A and B are shown apart, each in its own frame.
Chain A
Amino acid sequence: MGSDKQASSTQKAGGISREEVEHVAYLARIGLTEEEKQRFQEQLSDILEHVAVINRLNTDAIPPTAQVIPLHNVMRADAARPCYPPEEIIANAPRVEDHYFKIPPVLEEQEASLGGPPDI
């Protein structure tokens, strides 16, 4: 899946299809209700139509700006430093076991309708 599916279902310049809304929500790992899919399709289409004004500018010769300050690859010495005790690191965790974060099963049922990674 990916760009082919997206390109074929784009409906208008700057618009976004319902399939694209579902695909983007999948990439972002956010569940959406049917009503939300409808609303986001409309709102994201409006916003994308608006931001398309930047296409009026010819930027072929312009370098991109990712951030504005002249700093590159700031390094620190590779030296041991104090760190937080495990009890504090896991203090905000929803589920823990001993000094570990506990998560639901990763490998079971991933091919089912639970939104697992079907083909990445």
Chain B
Amino acid sequence: MKPYEATIHEAHDLLRTGQLSSVEITRSVIERIEAVESLVHAFLTVIPEEALEQARRADERRATGEDNPFLGVPVAIKDVISTQGVRTTCGSKMLENFLPIYDAFVIERLKALGAVMVGKTNMDEFAMGSSTENSAYFTTLNPWDLARVPGGSSGGSAAAVAADEAIFSLGSDTGGSIRQPASLCGVVGMKPTYGGISRFGLVAFASSLDQIGPFTKDVTDCALVLNALMGHDPRDSTSLQFPVPDYTRALLPDLKGVRVGLPREYFAEGIDPEVEKLVRAAIDRLRELGAEVGEISLPHTGYGLASYYIIAPAECSANLARYDGVKYGYSAPDAESMWDGYFKTRERGFGAEVTRRIMLGTYALSSGYYDAYYLKAQKVRTLIKRDFDEAFQRFDVLAAPTSPTVAFKVGERVDDPLAMYASDICTIPVNLAGLPGISVPCGFSQDLPVGLQLIGKPLGEEMLLRVAYAYEQSTDWRKRRPQLV
């Protein structure tokens, strides 16, 4: 095994037993980036010198007897998460030269543990998109087929882990932006419960939906990252207060007594038959592992996309009002007045999809339309949440596809916003209800990865990890890697 191929727990074993140093693992990851990045284009910024310096410090800390699973382990960070002194663009020309003056909560935590940041990953501009094609810089390509997208918006973080350009990575998920690219790239991706991981330092898109989470090579690593990042932070006013368990204790090999619900609306029209077959085979496997499987209806599922595409743009239009060319970011140099400067700055600084969503959200919130769109969508959100509440009276976890299709071709949906939005039809309701969701690889259709989505109760991450782990350990999917060089 090459060092760059390691999981977090494998890297930890190598480091703990002195077989490899962090400098050696980090150098291996940097060489891997140099070898494949010209094909995958996962990173907006790579910081090899800084990474090696962090690795040297991690080795020094370990030499003093310090130990934790992240000490000296290379990580990639989605470029929507603030990193002090390291360019944070959000995939936008608006923030092309933005250098945050503080670290996000999750970066503080990872730095305290001694993780080694190798770079910032590509994404759809301001996390709006499902393919990375909305990045103002370039499109990341799927390591399994370079003619296809990696999914999005956290496509760079997903592709980086799939291509072994990082041991693990962080992304953000507002409507599926971790789970959908994890599915399309064949890695594990989790969106925790809303409020489970602090959003302090996460550049805001839709604040009632945004959540940070990990991309990892297996479920054990996912549990380790939750151990590191879950918990209360007073600087995020929507951060939950709860006792943080040791999530690795949830990793059990069988599913005796676990009740798994199949929401029938997630297996309806629009789902690729091959994807459905693989997801249903995975569910059969859950049954073999001891789970009790039953059908359930979530009758308002079909309204999720519509509700989301009012609520998310409405919140986005308010959040992105801050880009005014005054405090930071692009500013039109030829502004003739303050007003003229707003129009020119925002016209040139934002790409088409961001402008489209700001327009849509502004319309939905404008005088005469607020009740018909925004308030109505929030009421539908209540109905969607109630569907889940009822389902969790009978079931511990729900199982469904993550994405209705495998990775689509670059350019295939880019001119059709509604077709692109439909990429997230299976993931969006989970954000509306604030629930945890995980995507775990469940096979291949025409050599392209397919993901099984598991949805849990609020703060039900342990049950999700248990089901995902038992399933993963009963398969060999995680051992298959894309052939890049």
Q: Are A28 and B378 in contact (CB under 8 A)?
A: no
CA distance A53 to B380 in the complex (A): 11
Kindly state whether residue B335 has any CB partner on chain A within 8 Å: yes
Q: Are B360 and A44 in contact (CB under 8 A)?
A: yes
Tell me, rounded to whole Å, the shortest Cβ–Cβ distance linking B261 to chain A: 20
On chain B, the residues within 8 Å of A28 by CB distance are: 317, 346, 358-359, 362
Tell me, rounded to whole Å, the shortest Cβ–Cβ distance linking A52 to chain B: 8
Contacts A47-B417, A63-B382 given: A31-B359 contact, CB under 8 Å? Answer: no
Contacts A25-B359, A69-B434 given: A6-B337 contact, CB under 8 Å? Answer: no
Contacts A68-B208, A69-B434 given: A94-B326 contact, CB under 8 Å? Answer: yes
Q: Are B346 and A29 in contact (CB under 8 A)?
A: yes
- Within 39-97 of A, Cβ neighbours of B (below 8 Å) are at 40, 43-44, 46-48, 50-55, 57, 59, 62-69, 71, 74, 76, 84, 88-89, 91-95
On chain A, the residues within 8 Å of B309 by CB distance are: 47, 50-51
Contacts A24-B366, A65-B385, A92-B328 given: A104-B335 contact, CB under 8 Å? Answer: yes
Kindly state whether residue B373 has any CB partner on chain A within 8 Å: yes
On chain B, the residues within 8 Å of A57 by CB distance are: 300, 303, 379-380, 383
Most B-side CB within 10 Å, residue of A2, A3, A7, A27 = A27
Tell me, rounded to whole Å, the shortest Cβ–Cβ distance linking A49 to chain B: 9
Q: Is the interface on chain A under 10, 10 to 19, 20 to 34, or 35 or more residues?
A: 35 or more
Q: Is the interface of A mostly helix, strand, loop or mixed?
A: loop
Q: Are A55 and B376 in contact (CB under 8 A)?
A: yes
CA distance A74 to B281 in the complex (A): 46
Tell me, rounded to whole Å, the shortest Cβ–Cβ distance linking A75 to chain B: 9
On chain B, the residues within 8 Å of A43 by CB distance are: 356, 417
Contacts A24-B366, A29-B343, A93-B326 given: A59-B383 contact, CB under 8 Å? Answer: yes
Tell me, rounded to whole Å, the shortest Cβ–Cβ distance linking B340 to chain A: 4
Interface stretch of the complex, out of B111-119, B141-149, B166-174, B233-241: B233-241
Find A64's partner among B326, B338, B355, B382 (CB 8 Å cutoff). B382
Tell me, rounded to whole Å, the shortest Cβ–Cβ distance linking B309 to chain A: 5
Interface residues in chain A, defined as those with a beta carbon under 8 Å from any beta carbon in chain B? 2-3, 6-7, 16, 20-21, 23-25, 27-32, 36, 40, 43-44, 46-48, 50-55, 57, 59, 62-69, 71, 74, 76, 84, 88-89, 91-95, 101, 103-106, 108-110, 114-117
**Known A50-B309, A69-B458; further 7 A-B contacts with Cβ < 8 A:** A25-B359, A51-B306, A62-B380, A74-B237, A74-B238, A92-B98, A103-B326
Interface residues in chain B, defined as those with a beta carbon under 8 Å from any beta carbon in chain A? 97-99, 101-102, 194-195, 208, 234, 237-238, 240, 300, 302-303, 305-307, 309-310, 317, 321, 324-331, 335-344, 346-347, 350, 355-356, 358-360, 362-363, 366-369, 372-373, 375-383, 385, 417-418, 432-434, 458
